Amino acid sequence: MLTVCHLYPDLLNLYGDRGNVTVFLRRCQWRGIPVRLWEVRFGESVDFTKVDFLFLGGGSDREQQLVVTDLLPRLANLRQAIEEGLVVLAVCGGYQLLGHYYQTAQGEKLPGLGILDLYTEAGEGRLIGDIAVEVQMGGRSQILCGFENHSGRTYLGRVSPLGRVLRGFGNNGWDGTEGARYKNVFGTYLHGPLLPKNPAFADYLISLALGRRGLEIMLPPLPDVLERQAREVILRRLRLRGS
């Protein structure tokens, strides 16, 4: 039985981010993989070592600070789970709060969890639009597509980017990086939600979660007809496919 934890679904859930959780669950269920959903809200207890897939969505600055306050007393438990291979997908605000801090437009530094070696500063304008990113998954190059809408500019330290921006803005609009990856932790600005538009990435996360349990299973393919069509529309719009 895989356990999916949607952390703070009432506080961090912008632009359909909940769809990432739904897709992870459904793609397991369609293949007969036992899976359960555990929604954890502010103040509720959670043991991250019992979780297989942890999802953090996007939220406002205020909501991010509430979340950090709630998570700090459990940071050691979360770090332990991550070092043991917990699969984490964190989008936008959820991604930013995994870093050291977020500096507001007024210069105030709002502390993060410091799990990823990165920081974010508020920018003057929002970075909005469709985005395509080249990433490496299991030794293969793949293109992720999604939608970004953020004013934060994220700068990486000693942590790998999730991928290389092909179209769009990414972490900060100038260095060509998007997101961050540490072990099985994936941070990204791709909303959309991300996983419905990128079923191969969803399956990659499922495989990582199963592998952490010692289950090296070759996932049976799913039709993904609508998913492929949606991706093609976006990639043509971004001029990464012929019309």
Mean pLDDT, to the nearest integer, of 89-101?
96
Cα separation, 134 vs 165, in Å, equals: 6
Cα separation, 188 vs 124, in Å, equals: 20
Question: What share of the chain in percent tops pLDDT 90?
Answer: 87
Cα separation, 207 vs 202, in Å, equals: 9
**Range with the poorest average pLDDT among 103-107, 125-129, 224-228, 239-243:** 239-243
Cα separation, 26 vs 36, in Å, equals: 10
- The pLDDT score that the predictor gives to residue 152 is 95
Cα separation, 172 vs 170, in Å, equals: 6
- The pLDDT score that the predictor gives to residue 243 is 56
pLDDT, mean over the chain = 94
| Residue list, annotated binding site for substrate | 126
| Residue list, annotated binding site | 126
- The pLDDT score that the predictor gives to residue 138 is 86
Higher pLDDT among residues 41 and 217, named by residue: 41
Mean pLDDT, to the nearest integer, of 207-232?
93
- The pLDDT score that the predictor gives to residue 9 is 93
- The pLDDT score that the predictor gives to residue 14 is 80
CA angle 149, 154, 159 (to 5 degrees): 130
- The pLDDT score that the predictor gives to residue 77 is 98
Is 191 part of the annotated catalytic residue set?
yes
- The pLDDT score that the predictor gives to residue 242 is 66
Name the fold adopted by 2-238. Rossmann fold (3.40.50)
For 33-71, what is each residue's pLDDT tens digit? 999 999 999 999 999 999 999 999 988 888 888 999 999
- 5, 145, 150, 191: the catalytic one is 191
Other beta carbons within 10 angstroms of residue 226's beta carbon come to 10
| Residue extents of the structural domains in the chain | 2-238
Cα separation, 205 vs 88, in Å, equals: 9
Cα separation, 31 vs 27, in Å, equals: 7
User: Is 103's pLDDT higher than 90?
Assistant: yes
Burial of 153: CB neighbours in 10 Å, binned 0-12, 13-18, 19+: buried
For 125-167, what is each residue's pLDDT tens digit? 999 999 999 999 988 999 999 999 999 999 999 999 999 999 9
Cβ atoms of residues 173 and 189 within 8 Å: no
- 5, 6, 28, 92: the catalytic one is 92
Higher pLDDT among residues 84 and 11, named by residue: 84
Higher pLDDT among residues 13 and 155, named by residue: 155
- The pLDDT score that the predictor gives to residue 211 is 95
| pTM to 2 decimal places | 0.96
